[in-house]
Structure 1
Amino acid sequence: MRANKTQHLLQDNDVKFWGNDIWSGNSPDLNVAECIGSIMKDKVETKMLPVTEYSRYHEDTPKMHIENVPTSMEENTELFETLLCSYPSRLRAVKNANGRHTDY
């Protein structure tokens, strides 16, 4: 909401800028790295589920899983290829949604 007010203020004062109609905001729908980060976070959380309460809060336990998950994903080239190849359809979806949230 504030961004819209700011954009209107700039427009009313003839300040030239790229608005939401040209430049989308920080869109996680277009950020493949954010998708990978979300997948990694989910995998770490899944690995943490069976960990007992004492071990769960020991710093070595989450650190171990955080280090192991990316290593286990290295061979999954299909995941990365799928995410990268989905970029054109992601871009179309964001464009069709006028920069708003999509189903990605």
Structure 2
Amino acid sequence: MRANKVQHLLQDNDIKFWGNDIWPGNSPDLNVAECIGSIIKDEVETKMLSETEYNRYHEDTLKMHVENVLTSMEEDTELLETLLCSYPSRLRAVKNTNGRHRILIVFIKQ
């Protein structure tokens, strides 16, 4: 709502600025940090689920897995390169959906 008011204020004062049709939305498809954060979360969750039920709820176990995942990601330069290089295609996908999130539909053959 506030963004629309700002856009109208800019237009009313004849200020040339990106409009809503050009300005990208707050899309996780465009945010590399969100992608990396999601990858970290998924990997840590997988490791935590592999723990015995007793160890699964210990803070030290969580810290250990987070440190291990981050350490392995530091050495994985391909991940960041892939995410950065995929930006143009992700931007096109968001543009093609008029700023909406992409919805993946999976058909399962029965």
Short-chain TM bin: 0.7 to 0.9
TM-score, with structure 1 as normaliser:
0.79
Aligned residue identity for 2:63: K
1:103 and 1:88 mapped to 2: Cα distance? 18
Once superposed, what is the RMSD of the aligned Cα atoms?
A: 2.3
Structure 2 stretches of 5 or more lacking a match? Answer: 12-17, 105-110
TM-score, with structure 2 as normaliser:
0.75
Q: Which position in structure 1 is the counterpart of 2:58?
A: 58
Q: Sequence identity, in percent?
A: 74
Q: Which position in structure 2 is the counterpart of 1:96?
A: 96
Structure 1 stretches of 5 or more lacking a match? Answer: none
1:77 and 1:99 mapped to 2: Cα distance? 29
Aligned residue identity for 1:90: R
Instruction: Give how far 1:84 is off.
Output: 0.6
Q: Which position in structure 2 is the counterpart of 1:69?
A: 69
Greater RCO, 1 or 2 (C-alpha within 8 Å, sep 6+): 1
Judging changes above 3 Å, is the alpha-carbon distance between structure 1 residues 103 and 85 closer, same or farther for their aligned structure 2 residues? farther
